[in-house]
Amino acid sequence: MSLGCLKKYKSLIFDYSFIRKFGGTRLLGELLEIITSDHKDVYVSRSFKLMHYCVIHQADDKTASAVGAMRDFCTMLLPDKLLHSIQLTETCAFLDRMKELEDSCLVMASSGILSKRLREKTPDYNGDLCVIGDDLEPSIYHGVSDYLESVTEEPISPLAASDKYLDVPVYCNIGDTITTGDGRRLTLEKRVSAGAEGMVFTTDDPRIVAKIYHKGIITPLRWKKLQTQVQMGINSFGICWPKDLLFYKNIPVGYTMIMGKGRTLGNVFDGPDALLNSFPECTRLDIVTTLADLLEKYIYLHMFGIVAGDIQMKNALIYSSNSIYLIDMDSVQVGNLPCPVGTEEFTDPRLWGKNFSGFLRSLRDEDYSIAMLVFSILFCGLHPYATRNGAETLREEITGKNFPYSLDSSDTDHIPKGGYDHIWEYLPDRLRVMLFETFHEGKSFEAVEWYEAVLAYKDALSSHEFTNEEAYKAFPEMDYVATDPDPVSKPRFTPPKKAASSGAGSPFKPVANKTVNSVPNGQSALARRMFNEDNGRDKPDNSSDSKPNGGNDGGLLGLFKNRR
């Protein structure tokens, strides 16, 4: 079956998974021919553009097929006003709006994020769906329920239950020669880190480092997952993805990856002292920019069917204003190969007590961890349930949903001391509502919704929309200085300003350092890499909702403005 099955519909609804998955294939040209020749209206959600941001910013190859596909998509459809952006991001809300369309079909890839959301949320949508598999063959379904009846969920791999190990008593260290899966020889040169699972070495190839596992670490599940990851070939500068398998004397010992630099987010975002000692020039914009970059990385992985699983502050590194890295990528969930580890504080309480090796996590499970990450970074390492004069344990606070912040800021008695009430006070209303509804009411927001809200906050800071200058401080209404005796030697988020007087290069007044009673675990800030084809990031689209039969292009043309 070809895409000719779409000719009978008056309108088409497109998910971004089609662009990312099938850009550069015959399907794109066939699709555009059908749309333009029959003058069909095409509708996309707000997430369509947001996900393209993630691909543009995170993919190493800036000439990736998705970029060309999006350019062709917009160039062919926008001049004739055939492309309409509906300003809704959440899956069910968008599909509910699309019910208004008559004689329409939703087009998506079988392995995309939307496919997974439909399985998790089972929205009441009875319109037709055109689902395209990896073999480029489309299938038509009459409503979400019809599609879900055809989906066979892959059971968890039996390897997850194996307690055997693949390694035998071998030991390699500095100076030893190891071999990649394709027979390339590498020499271990210098040990750069060591952990519970293994050690990381530089090699005689300056582009990569080698992670060598300790004995008793490589299980059949771990090795199968590494094999799958290497075959996937995910390339992103800031994601330390496994590149090649490694062997020593024909025995599996590890894998290669790019080297992440810097300190963990947990070490840097650990309250005012830790943050400002590492980055004395840190501002609120730096913090929000770092958060946006991290969200992009996780959403980018979601597009490949990856669930990170063990999201926490120690699994990312910050080095400088343009270098942030996701590490420990060998633990993620890939297909039916589960992530066997997790951190209770960042894990949805619904999953507490479960054996992480015994089930497959969903995107909804990941949404909770993403929400935790959003709060933890915005509040410089503080946990959302860290409470003053509260329960004896954090677990009790979490299970009781004892979120100490209120939407009207009327009750601050339980907010930890150290200026965290002012951070809450200066957050945009949308983020405050989302955080409150998540941690007080138990609501769940999709990762792309958090990304959209964070981008809007970043845009407001960049455009200097807030009249109170305190809103731009890392810690509003609090005066902190770095306690490090030589802060100049630390990385800076932004270039130093020209000093008009002593101390003029810093947003923090040179006064005595305040004491923080509740010390968090945190992170620092990074400036995002800009669009390859743009001179800067487009602002989030703030235009009003486009009615299904309207002609609003939703600013999609802006994706390709101002090309260098």
Residue range 406-421: mean pLDDT, rounded: 87
Q: Spell out a b/e string for 431-470, using b for 16 or more CB atoms within 10 Å of the CB, else e.
A: bbebbbbbbbeeebbbbbbbbbbbbbbbbbbeeeeeeeee
Question: Is the distance from CB of 253 to CB of 213 less than 8 angstroms?
Answer: yes
Residue type, 470: E
pTM for the whole thing? 0.87
Residue in the structure block whose two tokens are 């099955």:
5
pLDDT of residue 482: 62
The per-residue pLDDT for 411 is 81
- Least confident window among 108-112, 165-169, 241-245, 535-539: 535-539
- Residues in contact with 132: Cβ distance below 8 Å, sequence separation at least 6, in sequence order: 18, 21, 22, 27, 107, 108, 109, 110, 138, 139
The average confidence (pLDDT) of the chain is 85
Residue partners of 285: CB distance under 8 A and separation at least 6: 458, 461, 462, 472, 525
pLDDT in tens, 175-199: 999 999 999 999 999 999 888 899 9
The C-alpha atoms of residue 399 and residue 421 are separated, in whole angstroms, by 22
| pLDDT the model gives residue 141 | 97
Q: List pLDDT tens digits, range 497-508.
A: 333 322 222 222
Quick: pLDDT tens for 8-63: 999 999 999 999 999 989 999 999 999 999 999 999 999 999 999 999 999 877 65
* Stretch 65-74: mean pLDDT: 91
Q: What is the pLDDT of residue 1?
A: 59
Averaged pLDDT, 509-533: 28
pLDDT of 514:
29
Q: Which of 1, 6, 2, 67 is nearest to 36 (CA)?
A: 6
Tokens of 551: 């002609």
pLDDT at 556 over 50: no
3-state SS of the chain: helix, strand, coil percent to 5?
A: 35, 15, 50
Question: In order of start, what are the domains of the chain with their CATH numbers?
Answer: 3-153+533-560 (3.40.50.1010), 161-257 (3.30.200), 263-315+352-484 (1.10.510)
